[in-house]
Structure 1
Amino acid sequence: MSSTYTASITAPVNIATLKYWGKRDTSLNLPTNSSISVTLDQADLKTTTSAMASADFTKDRLWLNGEEDLQLSQSKRLTQVLSSLKEKRRLREAKDESLEKISSWFVHIVSVNNFPTAAGLASSAAGFAALVVCIAKLFELDDDMTELSKIARQGSGSACRSLFGGFVAWEMGSLADGSDSKAVEVCPLNHWPEMKACVLVACADKKDVSSTSGMQLTVKTSDLFQKRIDEVVPERFEQMKKSIHDKNFALFAELTMKDSNSFHATCLDSYPPIFYMNDTSKKIVKLVHLINAFYNETIVAYTFDAGPNAVLYYLEQNELKLMSFIYAMFKDLNGWETKYSTEELNKFISNYDSLKLQELSLDMEIVKGCTRVILTRVGPGPLTIKESLINEHGFPKN
C-alpha cells in the first residue's frame, strides 16, 4: 500500500438551551434564528472518528457504528462537507508545491458513537463535528474552529456548536452565502465548571419525524413560528448570554425552560402537529417545577430537543437537593453506579426520607417510561486521540 495519512478525533454532544429550529436556506443549513448550547463531557457522550487518505483508495467510504454506509455517494450533506474540506486542502497545495497532493485522494472514515444514533441525543451534531475536525487534521488545515464550524454546519446545523467546549453560540448571520453563520464561544468550560446535566433517556427508538423535515413543516405551517424568530429568540439570545457570563443560574434556568416550551409549542402548532415529547417527558416537566417549588428556588432546569429525552441542568452545589428526588424516583435505571458510590446513593435516599418527600405523592411510576440515566457535566470541545479505529489497510479494526 502506498503512503497514507491518518487522524483520529473525539467530538462532544451539545444540548441547546436556546433552540435552533427552522432554516432560511436548506442547502447551506442557514438557520432562521441564533442559538446557544452547553457542550457535554466526552467521558459520557461522544463520537470517535478516524480517517485515512490513500492514493490506493477508489472511492470515499464511511463506516458508522460498525456498518458501512453504502449510500454515502447519495448523501448530499456528507459529500458537500468532504468536498469543502478537500477544496481547502487543494488551495493549500496550490500555494505550497512541497505539499503532497492528497486533496485528490479518497478517504475512508470510521465513526462510532457511545450513545444511540438518531434518538434525540444530538448524534448527528457530534458525528459531523468529529468528521470535520478529523479530516481537517488529516489535511493539516490551519483554519480555526469558527472557520471550520461553517463547514460542520453544512452537514448538521447543530454540529457547528460541537466544535467548542463550554458554552457556545451559533450566530445565524444574514449573508446569503452563509459566510457569517458560524459558531463562537460564549464562555469557556472553566468559566462555569459547576454546571452539570442529568439526561433521562425516555426512548431510544428512532424518532418518527426527523429534525430536518420537522423544521421545514414548522416554517411552512406554524403561525407561532414567525413571532418566535422575530421577537422571542433575539431577546432571549442576549439574555441567555448574559446569564452565562454572570453565572446567574436562576435566569439561565428560566430562559432554558421557557425556550424548550416555546420550541415544542411551534412543533405542536405545525400542521399536522409534530410530537417530539411524550407522556413521560410531560411528567418530567411537572416534576422539575415541583422540585423548584419545594425548595422555593430554581435549582434545576429541563430542556427537550427533537425527542422525548429530558436533559436536566443543575449546579454541583445543588446535587444533593436534586438527586434526593431524581435518584429516589429513577434508581432502577442503569447509569448511577458509574458516577456515585454506594454511600453517596444511600445519602440521596436518606435525604429523601428526612425531607419526607414521600408525602408529596410523587409519581413513582414515571421510571417505567425511561430506559437509562446519563450523568454528565459541561465539557471540552473536540480532542485529538492516538488510538485509531482504522487498520493499516484502511478498514475498521473491529
Structure 2
Amino acid sequence: YICSKSTLKSSQRKTSRKMSIRSATVQAPVNIAVIKYWGKIDEEQVLALNDSISCTLSVDELCATTTVAISNTFKEDRMWLNGEEKTIESNKRLVNLLRHVRGRCRQEWKDYKIHICSKNNFPTAAGLASSAAGYACLVFALGYVFEIEDRTELSILARLGSGSACRSIFGGFVQWISGTDSRSSFAQQIVPANHWPELRCVILIVSDKAKDTSSTSGMQQSVKTSTLIHYRASEIVPKRVADITKAILERDFNTFAMITMKDSNQFHAICQDTWPPIRYMNDISWSVVKLIHAYNQYYGTNRVAYTFDAGPNACLYMLDETVDEILAIINHFYPPSLANYEYLRGFFPTEQVEIPQNLLSHLEYKQDIQMGAFSGIISTKIGDGPRLICDSLLDGFGLPTQ
C-alpha cells in the first residue's frame, strides 16, 4: 500500500515489512437523510423498518479519518478514537462487524489482529451523523486491507456498525433498501455527485453536545410505543421514496425541498408520538423552520429545504444561487455573540451581501433576532464518497502517531 507506507520513516518501513503490517487510511463523509431512517425490525442485524434516501456530503468539510493496520505480530485488536483508546470488547456492534470482516477475508489473514485509529473533524454524537461517517470509514479501510472490494458488500458490512453508514459508502444521492434479511439490506447509488452540481448544504451548528437520547435508544422506544412510525413505514415512505427519486433525477428542487421538509417534520412527530416523548429539536431549531418557511413564502416557491436528524442542528439544502443570500440572512437574524463563530467551514461570500429591503421587512415581521444561537456554520456540497489518503494515523509499529 504505497500511500500509507510512503508516510513512514525509513526505519519504520523496515519494521513494517518485518512485522508484515498491511495498512490503509481513508476519509469518509457524513450523509444527511432526506427520507429518514428511524426504527429497526432486527436490532442485531440492523435491518431498517423502511427505506431511506440521503445525500452524501463532501469530505472536504465534514469527514471521519481512519487508519486500519493488520499484522500477525499484533497481540490483540485495539482502537483509538479521537485521541483516546477505547475497549473494543464493550462495543458489541464493532465486535460483530470485525467477525464478519474476518469471515470474508483470505484464510491467511483471518488470525491477524487489527489496530484502528479514527478521528472526526466535527462534533461526535451531536446529531451530525458521526457514527455513519465513522463506520463507513472503518469498513472502507478494512475492505482495502482485507481486499474486500465490492461496494454492495462493504455497504452490508457498514450497516452492521451503524445503519446510516451503509449510505456513506457511496457518493451523490443514495437509497438504503431496507430488505428482509442481512443480504438484501444494503445501499445503492441513485445518482452520482455530478448529477446535481449546483446543490449545496448549509449546516447550522446549534449544539455540539451529545444528545440526551441516543439514536439507537430513541429508535427502540419509537418502534415499541409509536403508532405513527408503523403507519409511516407502510403507507407513506414508499410513495415519498418514489416521488423524491423522480425529483432528484429531474433536478426538481421545489418538489425535492417540499418532500424533504415534510419527512423531517414527520420524523420529529414520531419522536413526539413516542412514549415518553423524545425531543431532539430545540427552540432555535424551530425558529430556523419558521425562518425558512417565511423565506420560501416570500419567493412563492421552495428555495431552501430544512431537515433535522436526531439532534438540534439544522441542515439546509439549496441551490448555489441561493447560498450567499441565505448566509446573509442567517448572519442577520443569528449574529455571533463573540467576534466570530467557533468555526466556519466551506464556501462563504467574499463580499458583504445586501438583503433586499422588501425581503428583510417580510422576514423581520415574523422573526426575532437571536444572538449567539449557533456555534458554527458549515457550507458544503455533494460529495463522491470515501477516498484513500496518504497521511496515516498509525506509525510503523501500528500505534497512533499522535
The 5 Å alignment of 1:15-164 reads: 15-70=32-87, 72-90=88-106, 93=107, 101-142=108-149, 144-164=150-170
Q: CA deviation at 1:145?
A: 1.2
Between the aligned partners of 1:322 and 1:369, the Cα distance in structure 2 is 16
Between the aligned partners of 1:63 and 1:359, the Cα distance in structure 2 is 47
Query: CA 1:286 to 1:74, structure 2 compared with 1: closer, same or farther past 3 Å?
Result: same
Q: CA deviation at 1:352?
A: 4.6
Q: CA deviation at 1:324?
A: 3.6
Q: Aligned partner of 1:77: which letter?
A: R
Residue 171 of structure 1 pairs with residue 188 of structure 2: no
Residue 196 of structure 1 pairs with residue 213 of structure 2: no
Q: Is the 8 A contact 2:298 2:359 kept in 1?
A: no
Partner residue in 1 for 2:311? 307
SS of equivalent to 1:186 = strand
Unmatched runs of 5 consecutive residues or more in structure 2: 1-14
Partner residue in 2 for 1:263? 267
Partner residue in 2 for 1:97? none
Deviations, residues 208-227 of structure 1 (Å, cap 9, x unaligned)? 00101100100110121121
The 5 Å alignment of 1:370-389 reads: 370-389=374-393
Query: CA 1:300 to 1:391, structure 2 compared with 1: closer, same or farther past 3 Å?
Result: same
Q: CA deviation at 1:266?
A: 0.5
Query: CA 1:338 to 1:178, structure 2 compared with 1: closer, same or farther past 3 Å?
Result: closer
Q: Is the 8 A contact 1:335 1:375 kept in 2?
A: no
Partner residue in 2 for 1:219? 223
Q: Is the 8 A contact 1:325 1:352 kept in 2?
A: no
Deviations, residues 157-207 of structure 1 (Å, cap 9, x unaligned)? 000000001100000112xx3211000001100100111011011111110
Q: What percentage of aligned pairs have identical amino acids?
A: 45
Between the aligned partners of 2:324 and 2:168, the Cα distance in structure 1 is 30
Between the aligned partners of 2:47 and 2:314, the Cα distance in structure 1 is 26
Between the aligned partners of 1:269 and 1:32, the Cα distance in structure 2 is 17
Q: CA deviation at 1:327?
A: 3.0
Query: CA 1:302 to 1:384, structure 2 compared with 1: closer, same or farther past 3 Å?
Result: same
Between the aligned partners of 2:345 and 2:90, the Cα distance in structure 1 is 43
SS of equivalent to 1:368 = coil
Q: Is the 8 A contact 2:33 2:309 kept in 1?
A: yes
Q: Is the 8 A contact 2:94 2:161 kept in 1?
A: yes
TM value normalised by structure 1? 0.92
Q: Aligned partner of 1:294: which letter?
A: Y
The 5 Å alignment of 1:6-21 reads: 6-21=23-38
Unmatched runs of 5 consecutive residues or more in structure 1: 94-100
Between the aligned partners of 1:356 and 1:210, the Cα distance in structure 2 is 38
Q: Is the 8 A contact 1:328 1:352 kept in 2?
A: no
| Pairs aligned (count) | 381
Deviations, residues 243-263 of structure 1 (Å, cap 9, x unaligned)? 100100000000000000000
Between the aligned partners of 2:148 and 2:96, the Cα distance in structure 1 is 17
1:4 to 11, 21, 35: 21
Q: CA deviation at 1:291?
A: 0.5
TM value normalised by structure 2? 0.91
